């Protein structure tokens, strides 16, 4: 039999829908993956690597996985050269600048002369403010970014928003939308060639699913 196709899957928000789509595309992921990181799909011809979403691009770039499913928000923050073949249309969210409603930035109040921004998306945030010539310091955090403006750590945040509930809970509002994210199907540029039929086949089944 030929080499199995290796797919990298992100743990977290995209996981369940990714598994459902793969199932519809004929790749059955066992329901009980549990703590296993490396599983064989029901078709016996596909291997799955279950990874932290931030690690998916690296696995695909080096060819440890042939392809993967990953959010665009993860790709923003890396230089990994992977080919982005399709927008799978789920896991949609927006990357936004948000701040406390009371500060009024969303109503045109000018930013402080030196803005402090807390975010998990350091590169996207830096690029956004640099493009607009807003002098700023980006404070890289790993979670609970909404807290930063409330305790005076930052003037604004750059974060993902799906429904906006978290922002409302903290009495924050969207100041500007930076970009839209959704799940992407990415492949290793060399494996695109060496496993061309398997990869393009999977892609077209995923797009129909």
Partner 1 sequence: MRIPPGVRDWLPQEFAFKREVEERIRDVFHSWSYSEVLTPTFELYEALEQGLGELMAETFRFTDPNGAALVLRTELTTPIARLVAARLRHATLPLRLCYLANAFRYEEPQLGRMREFTQAGAELIGAAGASADAEALFMAVETLDAVGLDDARFDVSDVAIVDGALAGVGLVEEDAQLCKEMIARRNLVALREFGSTHAVEERRFERLLELTMMRGRDDVLRAVEPICVTEASQAALTRLSEILARAAALGWGERINIDFALLRDLRYYTGLVFEGYIADLGFSICGGGRYDALLPRMGYNVPAVGWMVGVERILLALERRRKDERPRNEVDVLVSGSDAVARRERAKGLRVRVDARGLDRAALLEYARDKEIPRVILVHGGREEEISEVPR
45: contact with partner 1 by CB under 8 A: no
Between 66 and 146, CB nearer to partner 1: 66
Between 15 and 192, CB nearer to partner 1: 192
CA-only gyration radius of the chain, Å: 19
166: contact with partner 1 by CB under 8 A: no
* Closest distance of CB 92 from partner 1, Å: 13
Burial of 179 (0-12, 13-18, 19+ CB in 10 A): middle
* Closest distance of CB 80 from partner 1, Å: 10
Q: Out of 63, 102, 109, 171, which residue is the one contacting partner 1 (CB under 8 A)?
A: 63
Binding residues for partner 1, rule: CB under 8 A, are 3, 60-64, 81, 83-87, 184, 188-194, 196, 200
């Amino acid at each position: 039999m030929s080499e199995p196709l290796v797919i990298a899957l992100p743990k977290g928000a995209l996981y369940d829908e990714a598994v459902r789509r793969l199932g519809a595309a004929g790749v059955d992921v066992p329901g009980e993956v549990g703590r296993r990181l490396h599983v064989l799909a029901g078709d016996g011809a596909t291997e799955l690597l279950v990874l932290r979403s931030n690690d998916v691009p690296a696995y695909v770039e080096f060819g440890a996985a042939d392809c993967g499913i990953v959010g665009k928000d993860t790709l923003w923050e890396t230089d990994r050269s992977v080919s982005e073949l399709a927008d799978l249309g789920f896991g949609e969210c927006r990357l936004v600048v948000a701040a406390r409603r009371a500060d009024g930035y969303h109503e045109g109040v000018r930013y402080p002369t030196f803005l402090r921004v807390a975010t998990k998306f350091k590169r996207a945030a830096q690029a956004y403010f640099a493009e607009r010539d807003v002098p700023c310091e980006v404070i890289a955090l790993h979670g609970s970014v909404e807290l930063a403006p409330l305790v005076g750590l930052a003037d604004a945040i750059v974060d993902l928003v799906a429904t906006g509930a978290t922002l409302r809970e903290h009495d924050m509002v969207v100041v500007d939308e930076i970009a839209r994210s959704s799940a992407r199907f990415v492949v290793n540029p060399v494996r695109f060639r060496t496993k061309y039929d398997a990869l393009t086949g999977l892609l077209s089944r995923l797009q129909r699913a």
